[in-house]
Structure 1
Amino acid sequence: MIDKKRRYDLDWLRVIAILAVYFHHVGMPFNGDDFHIMNSESSKLLDDIMVLFEQFRLPLLFLISGTGTMFAFSKRTWLEFIKERSKRLIIPLIFGTLFIVPPQTYFQYINKYSSYIEVYKNGDFETNHLWFIENLFILSIILIPLILFLKSTRSDKLISLFDKVSANKYGILVTGLPLLIITILLKKIYPSDSKDITNLSSTFYYGYFFISGMIFTSSKKSWSYLIAHRKFNLTSFIISFILFYGYYLLPSEYISPYLSISNRWSLWYLVCTMLSWTFVTTLLGYGQVLFNKKSILLYKCNEAIYPFYILHQTIIIIVGYYIISLDFSILSKIFLLILTSFPLTILIYRIFIYPFKITRFVFGMKSKS
């Protein structure tokens, strides 16, 4: 049975998760990883900080998307659900691939193009950051049988078992064990970090959070247990945090004589997964206490956050391309990139997307009230 009451805490967490994605992408040109545009110098400290936040933002976003999927399905038949998902996900994905992402391709490979139109002439279309929308749609459709099962009385025994396990303070922690096992095993077969849906290690990892959101939403009591055990979950997160950075910062020569490279990678996936699961479950508990409040600011943010997500990386790359060429420090460039790209993204949303039916439609927004 799904409680259809508006969950303002989940709305806030969705906004926070996408803002975390924004700040992550702001840092990408400066952390030494392979981004679409790269600064001539990189910061090891920034990379060490960003590796932590890489474990949080997408798992949280997929779990919240799982809850949203159940809420969306609770009002519709499966055919109506497919239509709604297509409208909200496929239309923005197609529009974004054709018109939002090409500038990213142009500035990434600017030296090989004589003009922007060559991106279209060559058919150089990518989804880039919109992979999340693509994967979300595929997961939503593939999991329709599971959604129907969770909506029916046939799932009562499973949900009762989940409630019983969640009642124990160790219960939520234990429910993360299959995620640990699945991730370690699949990474041996699919070691790539690609977010393509065919990379099963990535798909099952994020899919686990997505399905967890669906099960939490179908449960009658698990949300209250997340509140009740939030301090224990926080302790688990702190321990996971220490283990994560302890292993991350451990010099390889201390461990390489004793473990093969395969086992060392397995340990890395272990600490990463522990950190992700304990953080997300902790935040779900504290979020209900701190964020479950209605506000005008939340309403405006919740309405804007989806087009903001679609736009943000393109704005970061266009503005960032010129900023990284400046003779400034990395910290100065990051602040300048935030001070320009964030208000510019909001401005484009307010002037060109928010007021008009057609732009609201292609950006996956609901019609204006």
Structure 2
Amino acid sequence: MKEKKRRYDLDWFRVIAILAVYLHHIGMPFNGDTFHIMNEDSSKLLDDIMVFFEQFRLPLLFLISGTGTIYAFSKRTWRQFLKERSIRLIIPLIFGVLFIVPPQTYYEHIASYGSYLDVYKSGAFETNHLWFIENLFVYSVVLIPLILFLKSPKSDSVMRFLDSISAKKYGILLWVLPLVIITMLLKQIYPSDSKAITNLSSTFYYGYFLVAGMLFASSNTSWTHLKAYRKFNAIAFILSTVIFYGYYLLPNAYITPYLSINARWNVWYLVCGFLSWTLITTVLGYGQIWFYKKSRFLQKCNEAIYPFYILHQTIIVILGYYIIQLELPIVAKIAILLITSFPVVILIYRLLIYPFKIPRLLFGMKRN
């Protein structure tokens, strides 16, 4: 497998996707869903907006991780790759579970604990928002045979077939059909929305995007087709958005007489799958025009974004616990949480992580 040329558009989208995760978690205490800390009042409008962005922030991140997996493998043997994945994923995961996540557990159940040390005494250790790191490592290990296959000449016929499909204007949209079918089938057995690796409906859903990223990275022409058909994909995305909100806002009373609850959920999975796929294929096309240049700012952001991801939710929960108790409107609380949490995360990164060898290792960063 030839060493891949660095894709600056994917670096940008990695940064944007994780910032989208950060903004999503900023809104979580106020949207009426379940989170570690919850404001007394909630905003239905905020929830309606967030459900839209939920459809592609993580799928985009997994797809980019899939392309990154192929790029990382192109410079290593499978043993070297496994070692690199272990250092950059397992070490931060263990450190995070032991020291980054416990404050979230404490503030979520603060009334049940006499002190912070009670979290450790209770053994209440969770991966929490670091599930992404855990799942990415499992994918990386399990998919090594697939990567080796893509690396070998045996994959040539498969890649030619996929390239022939992608060469057609509508072809790249067909890639979403297996995703929807797999989701519908697995949701019958694993209906939970849990992100645990054992919840196969979620694992296969995000895994599909990761594998799609691997296939894009292994293809000779997929990126060219994504760029060439970006306007077509953008139109498909707009239509998917209209259909998504049309179905989301449609009162149940209008469709209950005609569709069973299972059928309604299947339609939802179909709508969500097409929205996710069309948005991602659109931005991957336009990204080759908008974000193709190297920049010093991007380099700094790309280096910081992994520690930022590990830290951000804990800072949001700690600060948010006190902010939601203020007698202020939801908009004001969100603004305060945003303008306080972001600089705190950046300061921790710059002062306590970036300059030092051991913290860099613990947060998955490369050596200086």
If the TM-score is normalised by the length of the shorter chain, which range does it land in?
A: over 0.9
1:122 shift after superposition: 1.0
Give the whole-Å Cα distance in 2 for the aligned partners of 1:3 and 1:79: 17
1:175 shift after superposition: 1.3
Give the whole-Å Cα distance in 2 for the aligned partners of 1:180 and 1:255: 21
Give the whole-Å Cα distance in 1 for the aligned partners of 2:221 and 2:265: 36
Partner of 1:102: 102
Partner of 2:326: 326
1:238 shift after superposition: 0.7
Partner of 2:270: 270
Q: 1:2 touches 1:217 (CA, 8 Å); kept in 2?
A: no
Q: 1:2 touches 1:218 (CA, 8 Å); kept in 2?
A: no
Partner of 1:213: 213
Identity of aligned residues (%): 71
1:306 shift after superposition: 0.1
Alignment map for 1:14-25 (pairs within 5 Å): 14-25=14-25
1:142-195 CA-to-partner distances (Å, cap 9, x unmatched) read 000000000111100111111111110011001111111111111111110000
Q: Which letter does structure 2 place at the counterpart of 1:140? A: S
Partner of 2:50: 50
Give the whole-Å Cα distance in 1 for the aligned partners of 2:2 and 2:192: 36
Partner of 1:137: 137
Structure 2 unmatched runs, 5+ = none
Partner of 2:337: 337
1:59 shift after superposition: 0.2
Q: Which letter does structure 2 place at the counterpart of 1:80? A: Q
Give the whole-Å Cα distance in 1 for the aligned partners of 2:164 and 2:263: 34
Q: 1:70 touches 1:214 (CA, 8 Å); kept in 2?
A: yes
Give the whole-Å Cα distance in 2 for the aligned partners of 1:220 and 1:198: 34
1:56-107 CA-to-partner distances (Å, cap 9, x unmatched) read 1000000000000011111111111110000000000000000000000000
Structure 1 unmatched runs, 5+ = none
Give the whole-Å Cα distance in 2 for the aligned partners of 1:215 and 1:201: 21
Give the whole-Å Cα distance in 1 for the aligned partners of 2:169 and 2:3: 23
Alignment map for 1:173-322 (pairs within 5 Å): 173-322=173-322
4+ residue runs of structure 1 moved beyond 6 angstroms?
none
1:274-303 CA-to-partner distances (Å, cap 9, x unmatched) read 100111111110111101111111000000
Give the whole-Å Cα distance in 1 for the aligned partners of 2:318 and 2:86: 29
Q: 2:237 touches 2:275 (CA, 8 Å); kept in 1?
A: yes
The alignment covers a number of residue pairs equal to 368
Q: 2:3 touches 2:75 (CA, 8 Å); kept in 1?
A: no
What TM-score comes out, normalization by structure 1 length? 0.99
Larger mean CA deviation between 179-188 and 293-302 belongs to 179-188
1:15 shift after superposition: 0.1
1:3 shift after superposition: 5.7
Larger mean CA deviation between 188-197 and 16-25 belongs to 188-197
Instruction: Give RMSD over aligned pairs.
Output: 0.7
What TM-score comes out, normalization by structure 2 length? 0.99
Partner of 1:119: 119
Partner of 1:360: 360
Q: Which letter does structure 2 place at the counterpart of 1:195? A: K
Q: Which letter does structure 1 place at the counterpart of 2:112? A: K
Q: Could you say what secondary structure the match of 1:76 adopts?
A: coil
1:18 shift after superposition: 0.1
